[in-house]
A and B are shown apart, each in its own frame.
Chain A
């Protein structure tokens, strides 16, 4: 099992350290050739416009779309925006996941928040019972899911913050900023 982390910009080092913690081989991905031999890919938090522009400049858009057809990809925050079909702005998107997202949906940095989420799928998959503590930073919201995409987690008021479509996973929040490895374990189960 070898997982790549898109390392163009953002908190890719934090994802790498989580993956190492659960004993997974990791590789940094900056160019199309770095996707060879990977079983899955994580796209980190960061600025989605920066990540998108660098992906276009270095020819990653098509190789990433191709990779996503047959491999697991997980986007956190900016990565989730990049995975989506629609972000209501004219920035480069992979369009792999049938979700519509709204950037900076909760406001500016002073509105960024932490909260506990009950995520049934995650607790079932990892055989645990405690809530998941989620860190949202200038977070996007998953406004709606379509087609085969399904809601994985929502806030109490129903706003969607995690979604899954087969082997594709999108979270508005940042599991890589916590010590809780359950989301990374869950993603590895999708990549297996």
Chain B
């Protein structure tokens, strides 16, 4: 009996276990415990949530390994951590810490403005952001075992997450109606690997699990994203920048499970306290947007 670790099935498989769940940004062990207690299916360990990264400015890097290890000790659910786009050494460090998933994330300042990490080289699985199907399939081609829409992190404005999810899912539908002879041109126009384009057409879905991220702040936002066809939701600043994080976290978990039941959504949305303040993406200067990072 030979055992194999770090296989594609293993990498994709963990994301499949997260489906129908909520992954929450946490900055310390106490927040991680609150997230787990609220029913999070995983946490993302990072030093500053995106709203604070925006406010503070400067270069945003991988978090202190000590802080990540403390969060790993504090909870039994999977722990993810972020590295900068293209920064494969940060990724090697995170892998050596034993994090369960790495997010090669546009929320941090990119380390390489032309290349992403060759994620097939790692045993630990990666999740990457996308705005459209071409970007999603390029990341999967590099070895991402899970995809999330980018949205616009740290804004509390769901409009970009909706735009990106509609774009990806719309393209999957479009592929279903295309003839096989049209696929190479689709691949060229979208900058997507041809073999993966073919696979999406044949199966009618993304080759890996696809979550929503970037701007989800309420149970209704999370349920909206589920209706659009994503497999689950990341909530970053939306929880711990709100008035009552524990209550809001539990409400968003329930809203993802019961997204089709408006009476449950009404019940969990009652008296949640202040939502995060939020920033309107349409009034934001282009230079401040994070979603454009990624190539």
Q: Is the CB of A114 within 8 A of B4?
A: yes
State how many angstroms separate the Cβ of A142 from the closest Cβ of chain B: 17
Contacts of A11 in B (CB 8 A): 16-17, 19
Decide if A113 touches B14 in the complex (CB within 8 Å): no
Mark the stretch among A19-27, A46-54, A180-188 that contacts chain B.
Answer: A46-54
Report A24-57 residues with CB < 8 Å from chain B CB: 30, 45-47, 49-50, 53-54, 57
Q: Which of B16, B17, B40, B123 has the most CB of A within 10 A?
A: B17
Inter-chain CA distance A45–B209, complex, in Å, is 15
Taking the closest CB of chain A, its distance from the CB of B293, in whole angstroms, is 26
Query: Contact: B76 with A110, CB < 8 Å?
Result: no
**Structural contact, A113 and B16, CB atoms closer than 8 A:** no
The answer to the question of A135 belonging to the interface, with a C-beta cut-off of 8 Å to chain B, is: yes
Would you call B125 an interface residue if the criterion is a C-beta within 8 Å of the partner chain's C-beta atoms?
yes
Partner of A50, one of B1, B6, B13, B253: B253
Q: Give the A-B pair count, Cβ closer than 8 A.
A: 123
CB within 8 Å of A: which B133-180 residues: none
Complex Cα gap A117–B38 (Å):
36
User: Once bound together, how far apart are the Cα atoms of A14 and B20, in whole Å?
Assistant: 12
Interface residues on B, range: 35 or more
Q: Which of A2-10, A67-75, A121-129, A163-171 is near enough to bind chain B?
A: A2-10
Taking A110-B6, A135-B9 as contacts, is the C-beta distance between A116 and B124 under 8 angstroms?
no
Least CB distance from A189 to B in Å reads 26
Q: Does A104 contact B (CB under 8 A)?
A: yes
The residue from B1, B10, B36 contacting A156, defined by CB atoms under 8 A apart: B1
A88 to B41 alpha-carbon distance, docked (Å): 19
Q: Closest B-chain residue to A103, C-beta based? A: B76
User: What is the CB-to-nearest-CB distance from A120 to chain B, in angstroms, rounded to a whole number?
Assistant: 15
In the bound assembly, the distance between CA atoms of A112 and B10 in angstroms comes to 7
How far apart are the CA atoms of A12 and B257 in the complex, in Å?
Answer: 12
Q: Is the CB of A110 within 8 A of B42?
A: no
Q: Judging by beta carbons under 8 Å apart, are B101 and A50 in contact? A: no
- Whether A109 is near chain B, meaning CB under 8 Å from some CB there, is yes
Tell me the smallest distance from the CB of B10 to a CB of chain A, in Å: 5
* A-binding residues in B (CB < 8 A): 1-7, 9-10, 13-14, 16-21, 36-42, 72, 76-78, 95, 98-101, 123-125, 250, 253-254, 256-258
Contacts A13-B19, A46-B18, A77-B17 supplied; 11 other A-B pairs, CB < 8 Å: A11-B19, A46-B41, A47-B41, A54-B254, A103-B76, A110-B5, A110-B95, A113-B10, A135-B9, A135-B10, A156-B1
